Amino acid sequence: MSADITLGQRLRRHVQALAGDIGERHVWRPRALHAAADYIRHEFEALGFAVAAQAYDAHGVRCENLEVTIPGSRRASEIDLVGAHYDTVEGSPGADDNASGVAGLIEIARALRDAGPQRTLKLVAFVNEEAPFFPFGLMGSKVYADAARKRGDDIRLMLSLEMLGCYRDDPGSQAYPPFLKWFYPRRGNFIAFVSNLRSRHALLALSSAFRAHCDFPAERLASPAIVPGVSWSDQISFWRAGYPGVMVTDTAFYRYAHYHQPTDTLERLRYPEMARVVAGLARALGALAGPAQALAAGS
């Protein structure tokens, strides 16, 4: 329990830095966007990683995807990639969307840095995932996925961390697209794994690994991408590039009343639950990538 509290405190610190100290961050506020990139770079470097920046211009602003790599051994050409976007919509500080995902990304990097995986693990902070770039503009995930396809990268799994911090125990706190409500819980106290139909095998492998390594409630859904919310994150760019992609999410607007609002602030998230999810994701990814050394997810 004390290990989870420590992880929860670190997650809260990252969310505070991004959503509290920096706040709203996008190309219309380039200083804030650059400050967020600098914070992420510093946190990765403090963990001992060399950070590779994929830079490009959008609306006259220099933008960066930030990548760190944990080299694989026996199957090094095979890649599992974890991503989270660090920009926000206009008018929101983006604590859950998506400082929570970036916080999870940093802490998964911490947990797996000495894991010694068989597959290569890449962790990427994406820029420009919100409007006006989503869904067909210069999204950071699109820039990255297109370059990966051109290089011939063998990405076996892309995991998008999209809002990890909202959990509710009250009855009726979880909504769904039409018809799904008959098959899933009515309390918003679980984490969801979501994919398109082509990625269902990756979805099954990841969600099963999570359940094997974590007792936090989890649900999964493989669905046509046209279902509202299923494709609304970074994984859509990897689907378009022909890669399997899975989103892990607290289900955003189906649960969280502060989605894309000025009220998406630090104190609305539940960090103990978030810590359990992030620790479980780190262990699941370590298992999928090959026999892992001792993981530090709770340290």
Q: Give CA–CA dist 263/93, Å, rounded.
A: 8
- DSSP code per residue over 84-146: EE----TT---IIIIIIHHHHHHHHHHHHTT---SEEEEEEEE---STTTTTTS--HHHHHHH
Higher pLDDT, 227 or 109: 109
pLDDT tens digits along 59-84? 999 999 999 999 999 899 999 999 99
| Percent of the chain scoring above 90 in pLDDT | 89
Q: Give CA–CA dist 92/90, Å, rounded.
A: 6
CA dihedral 250, 38, 88, 192 (to 10 degrees): -10
Q: Give CA–CA dist 27/61, Å, rounded.
A: 6
**Cβ partners under 8 Å of residue 230, min gap 6:** 194, 196, 221, 223, 224, 247
pLDDT tens digits along 101-157? 999 999 999 999 999 999 999 999 999 999 999 988 999 999 999 999 999 999 999
pLDDT tens digits along 236-261? 999 999 999 999 999 999 999 999 99
pLDDT at position 231 is 86
Name the pLDDT band for 5 (thresholds 50, 70, 90): low
Question: Which of 98, 244, 97 minimizes the C-alpha distance to 158?
Answer: 244
Q: Give CA–CA dist 176/229, Å, rounded.
A: 10
CB atoms within 10 A of CB 143: 21
Contact present, 143 and 124 (Cβ < 8 Å): no
292 pLDDT exceeds 90?
Answer: no
CB atoms within 10 A of CB 147: 14
Nearest-5° angle of CA 258, CA 260, CA 263? 45
SS3 256: coil
CATH superfamily, with its number, for domain 2-288: Zn peptidases (3.40.630.10)
DSSP state of 45: H
Contact present, 160 and 285 (Cβ < 8 Å): no
Laid out side by side, the sheet with 191-195 consists of 52-58, 61-70, 119-126, 75-85, 154-162, 245-249, 191-195, 218-222
Contact present, 47 and 110 (Cβ < 8 Å): yes
**pLDDT averaged over the chain?**
94
Domain range summary for the chain, segments of one domain joined by +: 2-288
Measured in whole angstroms, how far is the alpha carbon of residue 247 from the centre of its chain? 7
Q: Which helix (H) or strand (E) holds 81?
A: strand 75-85
Higher pLDDT, 2 or 242: 242
Contact present, 213 and 226 (Cβ < 8 Å): no
